[in-house]
């Protein structure tokens, strides 16, 4: 059975944050705003003014910086009482958005996401991640439905650090490989359904936009300018990539994060950087031609994305590290989403092939 999920409403553009009051008011219900400290310092006054002008008096909470179970409990205690919010709007980076999703999950409230960066496609999804105090992954949990509303202010995004935007491109560029492989293999998407071909089409379009506009979008960010290319890239990395992975499914590249997140120095790298590299390995495992792999890796290298473990972690892996990475990758539920079954040995051989083939590019 095909299952396709998405946010109810998506709003993107320069100045979109100014519309947060009107957008929240149209949803109806009491509101709690969870704001990360940086966003509160830069835009807090404007957010409050926009809410007041729409007749809203939301409860405002400041995020501590880590999405942990103790932090979630602290936030829930802060809104405990007879007037619990019906909407939780999370305004900030990925951890803040995860915490907002966690709050809404516990409260049975609707969730609104307002990302301050475009480093992943998480703002549109019904998934959130909880960590411990040492930033080790504790659990991946799921909401009953996707966010009610996503607001993406490209004037905010363009002011964020370049590496964060580049990581978002890395997370999006390989969705074409993962989603297509999952669909072809008859795998399950993030809703437990069959891959939607609408999601495959979105993954392909997302890939085409990245190839066509990534360089211009990065140049626009360097100038601090919101251009049509920048708008297209943000839509691709946040909306299209998010819808593609949730309703299309994942494969080897995201499976590899199990090992990459556990091994130093690769665990210190952003998710999107890990995924960009892992897609080069996936292409080898899925049987892509060497020319196709070379083109993909060449594009990634040209815009600043890693294509080897040595790129990603500033050193080559040891044989034992390759074995651990391959073994941990095999524990993922997405690992079977390939044209043919693979083993830990196959993964290790693909990792070694990538390191050898692209060593000169480092």
Contact (CB, 8 A) for 112 and 35? no
171 belongs to an annotated ligand binding site? yes
Is 337 annotated in some ligand binding site?
A: no
Q: Label each residue of 197-244 as H, E or C.
A: HHHHHHHHHHHHHHHHHHHHHHHHHHHCCCCHHHHHHHHHHHHHHHHH
331 Cβ contact list (under 8 Å, min separation 6): 258
3-state secondary structure of 18: helix
On whether 131 is known to bind a ligand per the annotation, the reply is yes
271 is known to lie in a ligand binding site: yes
Nearest by Cα to 182 from 337, 341, 329: 337
Burial of 66 (0-12, 13-18, 19+ CB in 10 A): middle
Determine if residue 176 is labeled as part of a ligand binding site.
no
Contact 64, 75 (CB under 8 A): no
- Asked whether the beta carbons of 308 and 278 are under 8 A apart, the reply is no
97 known member of a binding site: yes
Q: Give, for 47, the enclosing helix (H) or strand (E).
A: helix 37-53
User: Is 95 assigned a ligand-binding role in the annotation?
Assistant: yes
* DSSP E strand stretches across the chain: 10-12, 31-35, 59-62, 87-92, 110-115, 127-131, 137-142, 149-152
Q: Is 125 annotated for ligand binding?
A: yes
The secondary structure element, H or E, covering residue 94 is helix 94-107
Tokens (6 digits) for 8:
């109810």
- Binding region: 36, 94-98, 121, 125, 131, 171, 254, 271
Binding residue positions for glycerol: 121, 171, 254, 271
Residue ranges at the known binding site for NAD(+)? 36, 94-98, 125, 131
């Amino acid at each position: 059975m095909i299952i396709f999920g998405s946010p109810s409403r998506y709003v993107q553009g320069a100045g979109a944050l100014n519309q947060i009051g009107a957008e929240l008011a149209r949803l109806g219900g009491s509101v709690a705003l969870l704001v990360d400290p940086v966003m509160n310092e830069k835009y807090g006054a404007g957010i409050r003014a926009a809410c007041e002008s729409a007749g809203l008096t939301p409860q405002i909470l400041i995020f501590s910086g880590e999405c942990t179970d103790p932090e979630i409990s602290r936030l829930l205690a802060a809104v405990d009482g007879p007037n619990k919010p019906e909407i939780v709007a999370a305004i900030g980076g990925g951890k803040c958005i995860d915490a907002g999703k966690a709050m809404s999950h516990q409260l049975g409230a609707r969730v609104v996401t307002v990302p301050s960066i475009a480093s992943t496609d998480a703002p549109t999804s019904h998934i959130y991640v909880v960590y411990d105090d040492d930033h080790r992954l504790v659990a991946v949990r799921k909401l009953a439905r996707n966010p009610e509303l996503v607001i993406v202010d490209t004037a905010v995004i363009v002011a964020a650090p370049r590496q964060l935007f580049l990581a978002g491109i890395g997370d999006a560029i390989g969705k074409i490989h993962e989603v297509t492989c999952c669909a072809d293999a008859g795998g399950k998407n993030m809703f437990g359904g069959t891959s939607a071909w609408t999601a495959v089409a979105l993954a392909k379009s997302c890939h085409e936009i990245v190839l066509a506009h990534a360089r211009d979008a990065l140049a626009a960010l360097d100038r601090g300018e919101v251009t049509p290319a920048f708008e297209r890239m943000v839509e691709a990395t946040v909306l299209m990539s998010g819808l593609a992975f949730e309703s299309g499914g994942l494969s080897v590249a995201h499976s590899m994060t199990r090992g990459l997140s556990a091994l130093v120095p690769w665990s210190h790298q952003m998710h999107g950087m890990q995924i960009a590299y892992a897609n080069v390995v996936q292409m080898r495992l899925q049987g892509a031609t060497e020319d196709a792999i070379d083109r993909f890796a060449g594009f990634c290298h040209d815009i600043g994305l890693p294509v080897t473990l040595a790129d990603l972690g500033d050193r080559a892996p040891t044989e034992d590290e390759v074995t651990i990475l391959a073994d941990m990758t095999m524990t993922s539920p997405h690992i079977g989403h390939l044209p043919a079954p693979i083993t830990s040995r196959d993964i290790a051989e693909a990792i070694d092939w990538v390191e050898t083939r692209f060593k000169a590019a480092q």
